[in-house]
Amino acid sequence: MVEKDWVIDNWIIKPEEMFNLKDKIAIVTGAASGLGRAIALGLDAFGANVILADINEQGLEEVSQELQNDHLVQKMDWTKLDDVKETLKNALKEFNHIDISFNIPGINIRKTVFDLTYEEWNKVININLNGMFQFAKEAGKIIYDYYKQFKGRKSGSMINMASVFAEIVMPRQVAYAASKGAIRQMTKVMAAEWAPYVRVNAIGPCYIETPLVKQVMEDRKWYDNIRRQNVLRRFGKPEEVVGTAIFLASDASTLYTGNLLMPDAGWHWFGGWTGLEEFEDEWK
């Protein structure tokens, strides 16, 4: 005799509804290119209404033309609080509430600790970490207040873009790795404080073939060293992160919060290339 709770008809989430985002309102920052663009298109394909936010107006317009569902385009620099507040105000005016927030923008300056200037350090930290905190705080309050009415029966979802470098080390990544490691911890604190109304998770991908990464891939030695050391022997495509994004945005992940999911080609657990070989001559 099967227990009543195990009958599919009694499940709180029906299997066919687990990944359904129909009528959900999702805001995607950094939506004009790369992972933000791919995630925005993926959310739209699964039924969500998407608010596209980025500093790149032309890129936003190009992405918006590919969307099928209702959407909103917002030029925004998330390091500027007035921009953030104006974007969220317009989002609420258009859609009344927000269910999902993807916090994505980031930059990297690949230099050693000695070569990296203080101005460069501050630039990376300001965009990658300070900007994300500012937007996550403002958007999180909106999602939190909306989902309080459901008393824990439903929850919103916030997803922060971290990196495999939140967990592993490579030379010439000091500012980037510091920002992504901080995002990892920030995600856990937000998850603890905002439960059960907002689930907060992070994604930590390996190198993905976005426009910025493709530029540095032209250094064949660098590319081949990294490519050979992750288990799948290649970089990822932006669409290969979309499955993780849809999972975390949807009811399929209702028991996930404070987690870092890593579509990283096995790089993290495998160990990966450290890049220390470049410094060997100094040790002889």
Q: Which residues are catalytic?
A: 176
Cα separation of 34 and 26, whole Å?
A: 17
